[in-house]
Structure 1
Amino acid sequence: MTYVVTESCIRCKYTDCVDVCPVDCFREGPNFLVIDPDECIDCTLCVAECPVEAIYAEDDVPAGQEHFVALNAELSKKWPAIVERKDALPDAEEWAKVKSKLDQLKK
């Protein structure tokens, strides 16, 4: 089982999770992070670090967000690895409270 980044991360892109990942499985897009399912070792460290609670075990992804499993797998093949913590997006705090923002995802 792998871990999956879901909708809450869009337009926030907090990278606290990247700091604790022992295998560098995170990939960075313009306004979203994903987890490469081939690299994730299911350590769970990233889950507690996410300030917007966007990371779930594949089997525990919230109802209606199951498509993020495939989206993480797809985008992780296209986006570069991120191995160091960076500042969140400038308006991350504002977007952290928004629930439906899939239309904001930049690929």
Structure 2
Amino acid sequence: MAYVVTEACIRCRYTDCVEVCPTDCFREGPNFLVIDPDECIDCGVCAPECPIDAIVSAEEIDESQRQFIDLNITLAKQWPTITVRQAPLPDAENWKDVRPKLQHLTTERVTG
């Protein structure tokens, strides 16, 4: 089973994890990352790279975060692949310890 990006990533979007991923399974949304479970090989190298511990194994995910399994599956089909580390969102430091923040998830890609 794949790894999952959880609520902690919302409005932070640190991308340290994407650089170490051997299968390019991360997808980038406006204020959140997800992992494509069809591409994830369950290697786990991404999890320790996340500075806010937002990445967990789907097998070990806390009950309060289980909805993020389906969110990763759904949004991975909609969002583009990200393979290069980028700066976190400008106010990431202000959001890294905020919970709950699911209501702040933006799912629509802004185009052009």
Name the TM-score, length of structure 1 as normaliser: 0.99
Q: What's the CA shift string for 1:62-89, capped at 9, x where partnerless?
A: 1211010000000000000001000000
Aligned pairs (5 A) from 1:50-69: 50-69=50-69
2:95 alignment partner AA: W
Once structures 1 and 2 are overlaid, which stretch shifts more, 62-71 or 29-38? Answer: 62-71
1:33 alignment partner AA: L
Residue 45 (structure 1) aligns with: 45
Q: What's the CA shift string for 1:78-106, capped at 9, x where partnerless?
A: 00000100000000011001020000000
Q: Percent identity?
A: 60
Aligned pairs (5 A) from 1:23-102: 23-102=23-102
Q: What's the CA shift string for 1:1-20, capped at 9, x where partnerless?
A: 10000000000000000010
1:55 alignment partner AA: I
| Aligned length in residues | 107
Q: Post-superposition, which runs of at least 4 consecutive aligned residues in structure 1 deviate over 4 A?
A: none
Q: Name stretches of at least 5 consecutive residues in structure 1 with no aligned partner.
A: none
Q: In the alignment, does 2:11 pair up with 1:6?
A: no
Following the alignment from structure 2 to structure 1, what is the Cα–Cα distance between the partners of residues 86 and 106? 18
Q: SS where residue 75 of structure 2 aligns?
A: helix
